[in-house]
Structure 1
Amino acid sequence: MSSQPVGASDKLDGAVLKIAGVVVLGAIMSILDVTVVSVALPTFQTAFDASYAEVAWTMTGYTLALATVIPLTGWAADRFGTKRLYMAALLLFTLGSGLCATADSIGQLIGYRVLQGLGGGMLMPLGMTIMTRASGPHRIGRLMAVLGIPMLLGPIGGPILGGWLIDIASWHWIFLINLPIGAIALVYAQWALAKDNPEPSESFDFLGMLMLSPGLALFLFGVSSLPETGSMSATKVWLPMLGGGLLVIGFILYSFKPKHPLLDLRLLRNRNLSVASITMAVFMVAFMGAGLLFPSYFLQVRGESTLHAGLLMAPQGIGAMVTMPIAGMLADRIPVGRTVPFALVLIAAGFFAFTQVGTDTSYLLLCGALFVMGLGMGGTMMPIMTSALKTLTHHEVARGSTLLNILQQIAGSVGSALMSVILTSKLNNSPAIPGVTDPSGAPVSEAGAAIAVQQNPALAQQFPDQNILQRGLEFVANAFGTTFWVGFFLVVVTFIPAFFLPRRRQQAPLTDGVAGEPAATPVVLH
């Protein structure tokens, strides 16, 4: 066994790619599981005889668990070592997946999803830390591009995989599939990752934890309840958002006092990190928000099956795969401030096409727009992360990765809720069909009838006046178009912080605070 310091060569050697493989496996499980479950919600309603609001907690519970555990990751990585913690997170996520498959009530499933989220929440920040330390400053762009593949393809592959597994087997398999992947990832991690050398333990910030983790969970609970209630005035929305927001603000004011805070906001004094964080947050609101509505348009307006809707999203993933390796290579050589704006132009162009959607918009146009958008996304997300982490010292990487993941989680949740509320509010303005009510006695709108018929054509016989369905379908398409305008506007807003991304090449390597001392962790060759 020999050791070689990483960073001596600009090329990604086998030892570094071996580590990247471990991280990508974990990221695939964590990210795919979010989107796979999203397509299974109607199935859960039938299987557990539950309402949509109840089964939606299988998503919300997972999100809240992520928000609770992510702040602890930076401290725990320093205290226990990244290899041990990463393997523990893999084990917890895999066990949670197995338990989800055994659930015989919606309450059990939600509880097991929370357990799964506690493991999944650590996988992404730990993966970013491991890869950043392994690559060295001169190769971080290319290595982060590898991690970006599951981050961009997850929302595309999830609906395809979920729809296929539910069609050929049962909902249990969307969780059982994680068991062999998790077992392989654990064995792979034990073999590929170097032995931990944890640094001296820092004191744990209990007071910070009591403010930040519950604060994030409460705030995201309120945000997640917004689509269900449709109003900021609902107690279920504003009360937890206010309480959570006050706790987070209290943490921010407090965090500059202790020597080792739970989340080190002092890192934001690094201009690259702060500018990249703002750019990433605005981008994630648009990407995670409107991005989740693309398959919904194909399902609700065009009447496609879950599997076909997922396949129609494939051009976006293909576009990302084309540009992501190129963007990763360029991020190591050219300042991201010179490349990211061009990628954002492509994303904006793709979004604009979706602002024009109707009931019969050409699939060729929409798939072409998704491909162009994918080209832009491949050149946006990972270069921004590269800019954020590239100038951090070895000791700061775990904390910086944790900070970025918290911002992504908050921005993604806010974006999803924002777009869902806008779409729902538009659909609620649809005229009601005189004399037609649902089983609860509530009036049925023209838009609601159109969506129901698109998803189940057999219901069309209940509405003999086809003009009603056509009007409803056009109303739904216009509602999607209006919502996509908001996504387009948010992408345009992203140009503002992106303008401040570094335009000059950063020469400073990762250091531990000693001039000229390389911070990259040696990769042990087995």
Structure 2
Amino acid sequence: MTDVRGDRLDGALLRLIGVTLLGGIMGILDGTMVTVAAETLSTEFDRSLSVISWATTGYLLALTVTIPVTGWAVRRFGVKRLWLFGLVLFMGASLASALSWGVESLIAFRVVQGVGAGILDPLVLVILARAAGPSRAGRVMGMMGVVLSLGPVLGPVLGGLLLDSLGWRSMFSINIPIGVLALLLALRVIPADAPGERRAGLPLDIAGFALMAPALAALVLALTEAGERGAFATPTVLVPLVLGAVLLAAYVVRALRLRGTEPLIDVRLFAGRSFAASVTVQGLVGVGTFAGLFVLPLYYQIAHGHTAAAAGLLVAPLGLGSALAMPVAGRLSDRLGARTLVQGGALIAVAGAFALTFAGAEGAVVRSALAAFAIGLGLGGVGAPTMGSLYRTLPQEKVPQGSSVLYNLNQLGGALGVACAALIVAVGGFQGAYWFLVAVGVAILAASPLLPGRFREIPARPPEPDPEPSCAGTERA
């Protein structure tokens, strides 16, 4: 893929960002949009809510399992070809979901849709990181972070609006016109892969996939169950949790011993301090963000008696704060590095979470909304510089694998955040959950010294001057 260099974001790069985010936003929104339709679908198909929940769980599991394979597929088939395939697959599954005739068909089509999202979501990172280059990674990741921040918040809001006005099938069919536009624009805007970027004979690490895929699926399933039940000490949580940990450990041991075949995810990437710190901090951002998105709506409903729709709107300041901070922090990180900005963002998030610990049943909604805005502002100030630092230090050939790791850890972090918040609310109430958010901010502060500081791009060596020609056509001594 062709890199678009320079300090400014020129028209070509801005068009690429817009087209890429247009295609990627569908999967980000669909991850949370369908949750608001659970009761409607339960009535429509005359099935229990636990069965209907698999329409969301199946999507999430398929997405999680697909992401590591996407890193290999980028190198095998190329970015543009894989992006177009992902768009077509996601649109086809969306149309099939809209035409579902029963809950079983809906779950099956949602699984296929999750596979499409598992291709598109990490490819957004790959396309933009390659196009931006190290010197502009922060500001481009900041622009992408706006979508990542608002997606979980806007998904339920948009889903509720579509559900009330056009019915549940519209939550899937709306992807068709968006996808067609994204496909047509991608054919023109996304550059073709450069010669040598595709490795036609690259084999898939099948044994590695057989270990990693069920490991990640089991971990996500365990954390999702823990979030729904508000408890870890149940067989439905402990069995997949232990199974996932054992399979993941087996994958790590095998990948370190592997010779002759490229592993699905090269675990040696974690030996690099900057990489390990970046993905860890980004995982903590996922923990804090989704824990806040889980706790705050419950607080507004239980403590203030608001409806679910009103509570969803009141939690918007968290996403808004993050969306405002990410472009600014990303741009600054290209000049200042990640470390200082991450520390400042973590302090703001800690201050916002600490302010929430004083909110009780009688607490003012405005004060809690301002505290949530501060948390989002702080986490946004952490997220964009962290992603920028990852792509500034990662070799170009490792960008697909790095993107897979980053996205998977963010997904696991989100599931872990919801599970921990649900357990803490069930045991210690909202105050305990707010202190958990404070602890997440402190953990980010503790990891921040490992992040790289100011970025200095090594200038390319100027070409050697041509020797002066002699009149006789021979080299001068």
Would you say same fold, with TM above 0.5?
A: yes
Q: Is the 8 A contact 1:27 1:147 kept in 2?
A: no
Separation in 1, partners of 2:66, 2:32 = 20
> TM-score if structure 1 supplies the norm length?
0.82
SS in 2 for 1:499: helix
Once the two structures are superposed, the pairs formed by residues 63-462 of structure 1 within 5 Å of their partners are 63-197=60-194, 198-200=197-199, 201-256=201-256, 257-258=258-259, 259-425=261-427
Q: 1:4 to 1:118 in 2, by over 3 A?
A: closer
After superposition, the CA RMSD in angstroms is 2.1
Separation in 2, partners of 1:322, 1:231 = 35
Query: Structure 1: which 5+ residue stretches go unaligned?
Result: 427-478, 510-514, 518-526
SS in 1 for 2:191: coil
Cα drift, residue 375 of structure 1: 2.0
Cα drift, residue 111 of structure 1: 1.5
Residue matched to 1:491: 441
Cα drift, residue 281 of structure 1: 1.7
Cα drift, residue 84 of structure 1: 0.9
Q: Compare 313-322 and 124-133 and name the one that shifted more.
A: 313-322
Q: 1:236 to 1:79 in 2, by over 3 A?
A: same
Q: Deviations over 1:201-251 (max 9, x none)?
A: 322211111111122112222222223444434322222222221111111
Q: 1:158 to 1:216 in 2, by over 3 A?
A: same
Residue matched to 2:473: none
Q: Deviations over 1:370-394 (max 9, x none)?
A: 2222322321111111111211222
Q: Is the 8 A contact 2:69 2:264 kept in 1?
A: yes
Greater helix content: 2
Residue matched to 1:512: none
Separation in 2, partners of 1:301, 1:46 = 29
Q: Deviations over 1:269-326 (max 9, x none)?
A: 2221111112122232222223222223223433333432233233333333432221
Q: 1:322 to 1:237 in 2, by over 3 A?
A: closer
Separation in 2, partners of 1:153, 1:11 = 25
Q: Is the 8 A contact 1:23 1:147 kept in 2?
A: no
2:30 is the counterpart of 1:28: no
Separation in 1, partners of 2:374, 2:296 = 14
Q: Is the 8 A contact 1:335 1:506 kept in 2?
A: no
Q: 1:70 to 1:516 in 2, by over 3 A?
A: farther
Identity %, equivalent residues: 36
Q: Is the 8 A contact 2:228 2:422 kept in 1?
A: no
Residue matched to 1:482: 432
Separation in 1, partners of 2:333, 2:267 = 25
SS in 1 for 2:18: helix
> Where in structure 1 do 4 or more consecutive aligned residues deviate above 6 Å?
none
> TM-score if structure 2 supplies the norm length?
0.90
Separation in 2, partners of 1:368, 1:381 = 20
Separation in 1, partners of 2:230, 2:153 = 27
Query: Structure 2: which 5+ residue stretches go unaligned?
Result: 463-477
Separation in 1, partners of 2:299, 2:95 = 32
SS in 1 for 2:362: coil
Q: Is the 8 A contact 2:97 2:110 kept in 1?
A: yes
Cα drift, residue 506 of structure 1: 4.2
Cα drift, residue 260 of structure 1: 0.9
